[in-house]
């Protein structure tokens, strides 16, 4: 540390991110070093920039894009706009959780189908066609249109 400033490598190591990532955040205008040494190009960051980087990484972990993070960190969003952005991100995570829950339910169905299938015990002895038919019968198909198209293709 020099004059209570941290080098880019020090904060990169502290937060477990690359120097390249921090330079990208600088290029995007999200975090700016308080000092750049003109002789060696070293970037120095104050406690404020370290806090900004911490906030950036937390927001990034929550799924925000760098453009969204810049707006939030710069204070360019009003309280209402900030709440709107946060609520939309929450809704996106809720939708992702519901999709993941549905896929887990589908996997549970497949597991049960395979577990209790006497035919599945002979899967290594089957031809490709027999295996395909077995899997079609056991696998949960997410999209009704895909199920219909698959059904039509199988009966052509």
On whether both 56 and 102 belong to a single domain, the answer is: no
Q: Please work out, in degrees rounded to the nearest 5, the angle formed at the alpha carbon of residue 142 by the alpha carbons of 111 and 153.
A: 100
Q: What is the number of structural domains in the chain? A: 2
By the 8 A CB rule, do 1 and 8 touch?
A: no
On whether both 69 and 10 belong to a single domain, the answer is: yes
On whether both 59 and 119 belong to a single domain, the answer is: no
Residue that wins the pLDDT comparison between 65 and 145: 65
Report pLDDT digits (tens) over 22-34: 999 999 999 999 9
Helix (H) / strand (E) element for 45: namely strand 43-45
In whole angstroms, what is the distance from residue 29 CA to residue 17 CA? 17
In a domain, 1, yes or no: no
CATH number for the domain spanning 14: value is 1.10.1660.10
On whether both 64 and 100 belong to a single domain, the answer is: no
Q: Is the pLDDT of residue 46 over 50?
A: yes
Tokens of 107: 């996997």
Percent of the chain at pLDDT exceeding 90: 49
Give 36's strand partners. 43
On whether both 98 and 150 belong to a single domain, the answer is: yes
By the 8 A CB rule, do 9 and 44 touch?
A: no
CA torsion 22→27→32→36, rounded to 10°? 90
On whether both 53 and 23 belong to a single domain, the answer is: yes
In a domain, 119, yes or no: yes
On whether both 15 and 69 belong to a single domain, the answer is: yes
Domain span at 113:
94-154
Report pLDDT digits (tens) over 79-124: 999 999 999 999 999 999 999 998 888 888 888 888 888 888 888 8
In a domain, 100, yes or no: yes
In a domain, 57, yes or no: yes
Is the pTM of the predicted complex or chain greater than 0.85? no
Category of 31 on φ-ψ map: left (φ > 0), alpha (ψ -120 to 50) or beta:
beta
Report how far apart the first and last C-alpha atoms of the chain are (Å, whole number).
Answer: 73
In a domain, 82, yes or no: no
On whether both 22 and 57 belong to a single domain, the answer is: yes
In a domain, 86, yes or no: no
């Amino acid at each position: 540390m020099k004059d209570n400033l941290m080098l880019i490598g020090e904060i990169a190591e502290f937060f477990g991110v690359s120097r390249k990532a921090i330079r990208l955040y600088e290029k995007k205008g999200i975090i700016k070093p308080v000092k750049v040494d003109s002789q060696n190009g070293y970037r120095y960051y104050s406690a404020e920039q370290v806090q900004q980087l911490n906030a950036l990484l937390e927001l990034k972990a929550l799924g925000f894009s760098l453009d969204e993070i810049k707006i939030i960190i710069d204070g360019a969003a009003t309280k209402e706009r900030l709440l709107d952005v946060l609520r939309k991100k929450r809704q996106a995570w809720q939708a992702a959780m519901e999709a993941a829950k549905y896929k887990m339910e589908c996997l549970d169905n497949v597991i049960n189908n395979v577990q209790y299938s006497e035919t599945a015990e002979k899967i290594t002895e089957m031809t490709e066609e027999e295996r395909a038919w077995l899997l079609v019968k056991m696998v949960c198909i997410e999209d009704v249109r895909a199920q219909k198209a698959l059904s039509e293709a199988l009966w052509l």
